[in-house]
Amino acid sequence: MADKKILQDKNNYGKPRPWRQKKLENLRYAEYLSILLYKKAHKVYGCADVLRFRKLPDGSTKLYQTWFCKSRLCPLCNWRRSMKNSGQLKKILTEAHKQQPTGRFIFLTLTERNAIDCVDLKLRLRALTQAFNKLIRYKKVARNLLGYVRSTEITAKDNGTYHQHLHVLLFVKNAYFKGSGNYLSQANWTDLWQKALRSSYKPIVNVEVVRTNKSKGKPSLLSSAQETAKYQVKSADYMTDDDNRNQQVIDDLEQALAGTRQIGYGGLLKRIKRQLKLDDADNGDLVNVDGEELPEPTEAELIVAKWDQQRKNYLIW
Ligand SMILES: [Zn+2]
């Protein structure tokens, strides 16, 4: 046993991929599920236990085969999902820009008051999506809208509440910037979002024009895409030093997130996702996250690694 080598999976920049850290978090998550008497705990324990990689000619390795539990809060699966989402999003945005070269991107963050508990969070998540669907149908928005991608993010707060909000990349016609009949200021967006939410208070809205060139102080398309495609809930929110709190957050989120989706595409971006035949990251393939098709590897090109509970690492077999 002791002579077995530790897995080294590096990307094509030579950076090691965080398998060990993610697996340790996955086991901690499975432990919490088991304490909370969730039946799926057993399944989650087995997530990515055995990994098969292929060696690539440039010396890097690429995951070839494994089994993922696909549980909503699994830190391993979420890491794979975020890679898959950002890869897909980059392809879609590049293609959108090709099809509509004069189109521009706007990055919106739409928030509302925190949800007070699990039941409230479940209701608010549904209301948030409905309000967003209303927002994009308002004439002032729809007039110049070509497409969008939106994602839901939730952060667990220390006082037990949840901050649920939307990150949205809007793809708009260039005309959006021409004249007061088209352009929407931060105040305009806030008013529209308040109307869509039917809230008595002014919700916090952040709007930024995404730069496609090097203008300073504005977010780049890449960083906005990454912000949109990242985790729905950061695992750090339920991997704190406080076990009781972690269990409460996991229990709340398991129930509130059941049946929801993290990411939604609309308009041109949705059509492009279909044209490019990209599958769904929520339930799709988490092995080949970049979607690149490679020929079947030969036996000699395969590397097999198994999780070792004693040494708390992946060992090469
Ligand atoms: Zn998993």
DSSP state, residue 114: P
Is pTM beyond 0.85 here? yes
CA of 264 to the centre of ligand 1 (A): 22
**By the 8 A CB rule, do 172 and 192 touch?**
no
Does residue 1 carry a pLDDT above 60? no
Sign, CA torsion 303/304/308/312: positive
CA of 47 to the centre of ligand 1 (A): 5
CATH 3.30.70.1910 corresponds to the domain 92-283: yes
Distance CA 235, CA 75 (A): 6
The H-assigned helical ranges of 100-167 are: 118-135, 139-142
CA of 239 to the centre of ligand 1 (A): 15
CA of 7 to the centre of ligand 1 (A): 19
What was the pLDDT predicted at 170?
A: 96
Q: What is the mean pLDDT of the chain?
A: 92
**By the 8 A CB rule, do 64 and 295 touch?**
no
Structure tokens at 122: 């479940």
pLDDT tens track for 170-198? 999 999 999 888 999 999 999 999 999 99
Beta bridge partners of 153: 165
Distance CA 262, CA 52 (A): 28
CA of 92 to the centre of ligand 1 (A): 26
C-alpha to C-alpha distances, 211 to 55, 93, 164, 166, 292, nearest whole angstrom = 38, 13, 26, 20, 28
CA of 164 to the centre of ligand 1 (A): 23
CA of 201 to the centre of ligand 1 (A): 39
Distance CA 17, CA 10 (A): 6
Residue 284 backbone phi and psi in degrees, to 5 = -80, -165
CA angle 210, 215, 216 (to 5 degrees): 95
Does residue 212 carry a pLDDT above 80? no
- Residue type for position 65: Q
CA of 165 to the centre of ligand 1 (A): 24
Distance CA 278, CA 310 (A): 39
pLDDT tens track for 107-137? 999 999 999 999 999 999 999 999 999 999 9
Structure tokens at 39: 């039946």
Radius of gyration of the chain (CA): 21
Share of the chain above pLDDT 90, in %: 75
Q: In what order do the strands lie in the sheet with 205-209?
A: 205-209, 104-111, 162-172, 145-156, 263-266
CA of 124 to the centre of ligand 1 (A): 26
The phi-psi region of residue 266 (left if phi > 0; otherwise alpha if psi is between -120 and 50; otherwise beta) is beta
Is 44 in a helix, a strand, or coil? Answer: helix
CA of 70 to the centre of ligand 1 (A): 5
CA of 133 to the centre of ligand 1 (A): 31
Least confident of 36-45, 132-141, 213-222: 213-222
Q: Where are the domains of the chain?
A: 1-68+287-317, 92-283
Distance CA 293, CA 276 (A): 14
CA of 283 to the centre of ligand 1 (A): 11
CA of 18 to the centre of ligand 1 (A): 14
What was the pLDDT predicted at 214?
A: 61
